[in-house]
Amino acid sequence: MIHHIELAGRALALATDGTVTGPAAGPGISAVAHPEGAPAAPPGVQAVRVEAAHLSLLHDMREGEVYRTGQNSWSPSGWRRLDEAPMRIEDDERRRTADDDAWDDPVRHHSSWVAVLEDEGGAILVGCLEGPTPRLRADQAALEAFTETGRPAQWVILAGPATVVLRDYARALGQALGRREIRPQSVWCSWYSYYEGISQEALDEEIPEAAALGFATLQIDDGWQAAVGDWEAGPRFSRGMAHAAQQIRRAGMRPGLWVAPFIALPGSRLLAEHPEAFIHEADGRLAIAGSNWGADYHALDATHPVAQDYVRRTIERIVKDWGFTYLKLDFINAAAVPGVRHGQADREGAYRIGLRLVREAAGQEAFLLGSGALLMPSLGILDAVRVGPDVAPMWENYATDDLSDAKAYNALHAGINRLWLGEVIGVDPDVVFFRHRRNLLDGTQMQWLRDVAEASRYRCLSDQSGWLDEQERAEIRQWLAREPEELEILGRYRFRLGGRTVDLTEAIEGSASPYPL
């Protein structure tokens, strides 16, 4: 059926196989929709609710722009003109890891869960509140929303300034999917200085330094484990992980640990002993969930009893036996890859089943950060999500223009374009830098990263203590000691923190040399 709707004074045509209702939830929001031929809706209506498996919104915004957000933490997000090529990852292998390859579109703009159109007359948002793997596509004539399974979903259409409709959408998501208390974080993470070379000896050096600087949490990253999939201490942690956690706790910090609970590499004991617990292709081969560590990795089927038991036991051991109560859950998008599963669930529903297993095993007091996380399906279960790709101590890289690659510009671009999610879940824009050693960023670029970290209330650092001089240490102590300030988003790249206004327009839209220097 075709409905004629008027949102904030803009007349639109809505074609859908479902029902259109109102009023939509939210303070001060009303909704009117009327079938073709009925009298026009009164002006000023701001929201419409739709229950449907598919809807198409015909629009007149040919000269406008579109906001897209990809499926997971590393997926490109941000604004493009409707007449431009879509924002996407071109490399097939990288896209399989860092976005949803099943719905990639080289022609039309495409997004996960929500898309926004904007022109001089304002913005129109179409977003899913609950549904089985929802996706959207847009061009210069229409914005299409649908579910992967063909089963109905709950959609909301909002009109107004882009900052307002994204804020209201986030709040409606919190009502639909739940939300946890958002707690400011200060974390020292081993990844961006030690990478996979982290060891007990390195930890012995960093623990007292991190405590003296004022960090609340010290998180051990990738490199501690025997193998990806076999979550026991590797040879560089011969005294075991319970000992490491105890050291961190005695220094007055919360022990944190990196783990990728839904994946395994070829050669892992888990994969060799329980191949039936993994997602498979229709022909019986193991599904490939992504590529890292020089190999393709595979994903546990969160609906399979063997996989569920394994995840539960792994998380209970890490939290309850070893004592790590801050978990960085990485590569967790793997639980939603296409494939054959044991139980009946859409892909993102299976992901949510997996997250609930982790939460139940970890307990309600544990802090769970998702990296590679599916953003909206994490709501109500995870405490925070990474909102961009890995940062790096260089602004640009001449060898790549992929927005999912590791560089400071990409982390900042994603962090500011997903800052609106802070209404409903903790947002981690990744680490900042204070060191000048082994760093190609200038002072302005370093400050931009810190501004977004402060706006996100997620202060994370990875500078190795031996790379810091006394002035840098003093700056870190001062930065960590600041009380979090109230955030007000003023525009795409502008926000107010307390009494300070930050404008990152030049950082995002300004030209920069493709060479690090």
Chain segment 68-79, per-residue pLDDT in tens: 999 999 999 999
Quote the crossing angle between the two packed helices 443-456 and 408-417, to the nearest 10°: 30
CA distance 335 to 350: 7
Give pLDDT, residue 1.
Answer: 83
Torsion from C-alpha of 507, 119, 495, 461, nearest 10 degrees: -50
**42 class by beta-carbon count within 10 Å (0-12 exposed, 13-18 middle, 19+ buried):** exposed
Quote the crossing angle between the two packed helices 200-213 and 470-481, to the nearest 10°: 60
How many CA atoms lie less than 13 Å away from 139 in the CB half-sphere? 6
The neighbour count for residue 295, using CB atoms within 10 Å, is 12
Instruction: Give the bridge partners for 256, in sequence order.
Output: 219, 326
Give the residue ranges of the chain where pLDDT is below 50.
23-45
Chain segment 26-53, per-residue pLDDT in tens: 333 334 343 344 333 334 447 899 999 9
Closest by Cα among 53, 221, 195 to 131: 53
Closest by Cα among 110, 31, 122 to 77: 110
Tokens of 485: 């300030």
Strands (E), 82-168: 109-112, 114-119, 122-130, 134-138, 142-147, 153-160
> The pTM is what?
0.95
User: CA of 497: how far to CAs of 181, 381, 454, 456, 458, in Å?
Assistant: 20, 27, 8, 10, 14
Q: Report the amino acid identity of residue 348.
A: E
DSSP state of 486: -
Tell me if 77 sits within 8 A of 128, measured CB to CB: no
- Give the DSSP letter string of 411-440: HHHHHHHTGGGGGTSEEE---B----TT--
Give pLDDT, residue 514.
Answer: 65
Strand ranges across the sheet with 142-147: 34-35, 2-7, 10-16, 54-58, 142-147, 134-138, 109-112
User: CA of 285: how far to CAs of 288, 294, 404, in Å?
Assistant: 9, 20, 28
Give pLDDT, residue 26.
Answer: 35
Give pLDDT, residue 45.
Answer: 41
CA distance 230 to 516: 38
Q: What is the chain's Cα-based Rg? A: 23
Q: How many residues does the chain have?
A: 517
**Torsion sign over Cα 380, 384, 387, 388:** negative
Give pLDDT, residue 517.
Answer: 57
Strands (E), 174-294: 185-189, 217-220, 225-227, 230-233, 254-259, 263-264, 290-292
β-pairing verdict for 2-7 and 367-370:
unpaired
Tell me if 105 sits within 8 A of 368, measured CB to CB: no
- Gap between the terminal Cα atoms of the chain: 57
